[in-house]
Amino acid sequence: MDIIQTVAEMQHVTYKQQHHTIGFVPTMGYLHEGHTALIDRARQESDIVIVSIFVNPLQFGPNEDFDRYPRDEQRDIEIAQQHGVDYLFMPTVEEMYNDEPTVQVTVKNRTNVLCGKSRPGHFDGVATVLVKLFHISNATYAYFGLKDAQQVAVVDGLINDFHFTTKIVGVPTVREKDGLAKSSRNVYLSANERQEATQLYTALTNAQQDMIDGEKNPVIIREKIKRYIEMYTSAKIDYVEILTYPALQPIETIDRTVIIAVAVYFSQARLIDNLIVSEKGFIPEQLF
């Protein structure tokens, strides 16, 4: 595995690999099983695998501490090597943003719902850095986890609007054996909260079953999810939403693919989870 720190060298490498398929996994480091699932998928489907590790300052809001974001460079290198990464791109902030920018991407849709409501400007930062990274990596495929389904929807819009040849690949959420979505925030749960947190996935799968059984009214399904979470957990609900996917628009009757999404607060952690299902309640084989 080669470690590359400059844009020029990374572009030189990708130019030499232009006759091979390139699988690209953009990350902010502190790699965990969610990331390695993306890397493993890229390894299966691509000739060359590039992983970027870059903590992007543009996607941090004024109340989000960029400097305190967890970093463990040596561990990340070891994990990337273990999972067959060919090139690890680790630029500095100065390398990626060496001058006052002339252009910055503004995301107009798919951001004023779900987690985007409380993070204005976040997805502008995500989109801006991905424009850079897609050009630098010359990726054939770019791999993203569906746990952060809103981000995936925004990236889908970015790729379509700017006519990137890169194809987005959404990888299913990695879960614990009891269904809880894997997250670095799970360590902040108390023993009792950790047990309660499994009910989020149960609430989602109950909603999925309602759709399979023929329920088409999103209001009824949302209310059942809320009641279930309130009954079986001590968490405070941030949101429960059913929206079209990937457009993330409200829907009155479920007649197309939707995302069923929840976010809750426990005492020391905010957890998110979702299911993306067809109008009949089944998991689509392909989203994009």
d(CA 14, CA 46): 13
52 is in an annotated binding site: no
179 is in an annotated binding site: no
152 is in an annotated binding site: no
122 classed as catalytic: no
148 is in an annotated binding site: yes
135 is in an annotated binding site: no
184 is in an annotated binding site: yes
227 is in an annotated binding site: no
Q: What is the DSSP letter of 119?
A: S
116 is in an annotated binding site: no
69 CB contacts (<8 Å, ≥6 apart)? 28, 30, 55, 60
241 is in an annotated binding site: no
d(CA 35, CA 38): 5
The answer to whether 77 touches 88, Cβ cutoff 8 Å, is yes
In the chain, count H helices and then E strands.
8, 9
Q: What is the DSSP letter of 180?
A: P
34 is in an annotated binding site: yes
* Residue 43, φ and ψ in degrees, nearest 5: -65, -35
The answer to whether 93 touches 101, Cβ cutoff 8 Å, is no
183 is in an annotated binding site: yes
Give which of 192, 204, 194, 197 is closest to 274, Cα–Cα: 204
d(CA 259, CA 239): 13
151 is in an annotated binding site: yes
Out of 12, 20, 35, 135, pick the active-site residue: 35
- Determine which helix (DSSP H) or strand (DSSP E) holds 197, and give its type and residue range: helix 191-212
Residues in the annotated binding site for beta-alanine: 59
Annotated binding site for (R)-pantoate: 59, 151
Active site residues: 35
> Which residues belong to the annotated binding site?
28-35, 59, 145-148, 151, 174, 182-185
| Residues placed in the known binding site for ATP | 28-35, 145-148, 174, 182-185
